Amino acid sequence: MSIASVRRSLLDFTRGRGRFHAMAERSVQLVLHYDGSGFSGWQRQPERRTVQGVMEAALERLCGAPVGVLGAGRTDAGVHARGQAAGVQVPERWTATALRRALNAVLPPDVWVAAAHEMRAAFHARYSAVARRYRYYVGTDQEADSPFRRRVEFAIRRSLDRGALDATATQLFGEHGFRAFAVQGTAPPDDDHRCHVHVARWLDRTGGVVFEIEANRFLHHMVRFLVGTMLDIATGRRPPQDMAALLVAADNRAVSPPAPAHALFLEAVVYPADLYL
């Protein structure tokens, strides 16, 4: 075959006239519930059980080829989810409804696909998100030590100043630098660590309280640092004015230790309505 004929054949393929065509794909958002107790976090890790790894193994089993799963956020080891969003590109034969049903048939019992939505091609699970919402559960009664609760609640033995909790949460509204509430070295050097908080409140519930926060972005361990600091203020371990000082601090040296991971839930991820089909 001459060089000219080889070139013509290659041009035919690039113009779509060859025998081989790229497989059509469908963009799907999966809304996941998972019990983080048995996972080393979201992100795939060698020789570790992770949510991303379990999801990718299930999708490969169904689709017959590797399928990458991109999460809206990387939850840490022990953190749970009732609204983690994951983006996948699957063969077009899979409708969102059929994919959800098939995944729930093969996934382990600590992961469940709550919903599946067909999305536009521009959808990106991480970068398209406009807000994320977390909840942190604190138990204050004797039953917080029950084996049915202590796996998903942080039991506090000291009395909480409920007014102090509300006052510290109120200070979080709006845009602030949260450098004091982040693990150092986990963000790019030029990151300003600024986040816009839409919701920050403590809610009463049977047996305790829950902290709810929604923002456009979150830094590594940010919610757990916030909760640890607010609980220290509410139990008298540190003065109320510390919260304002930490919101303008240049580093995290003065922050309280982060609250334990096991009581934190990723509740929801919000996307623009026009990304949904």
Residues 6+ apart with CB under 8 A from 207: 139, 140, 141, 143, 144, 149, 153
* DSSP code per residue over 139-162: E-SGGGGSTTTTTTSEE--SPP-H
For 5, phi and psi rounded to 5 degrees? -70, -35
Q: Catalytic pick from 76, 141, 204, 274?
A: 76
Residues 6+ apart with CB under 8 A from 32: 51, 55, 81, 83, 84, 85, 86, 111, 112, 113, 114
Residues 6+ apart with CB under 8 A from 68: 56, 88, 89
Q: What is the DSSP letter of 119?
A: B
Helix/strand/coil percentages in the chain, nearest 5: 30, 25, 45
Among 82, 32, 28, which Cα is nearest to 52's? Answer: 32
* Active-site residue, 141 included: no
CA distance 125 to 70: 6
Taking the mean position of all CA atoms in its chain, how far away is CA 268?
Answer: 8
Residues 6+ apart with CB under 8 A from 239: 233
Q: Which residues are catalytic?
A: 76
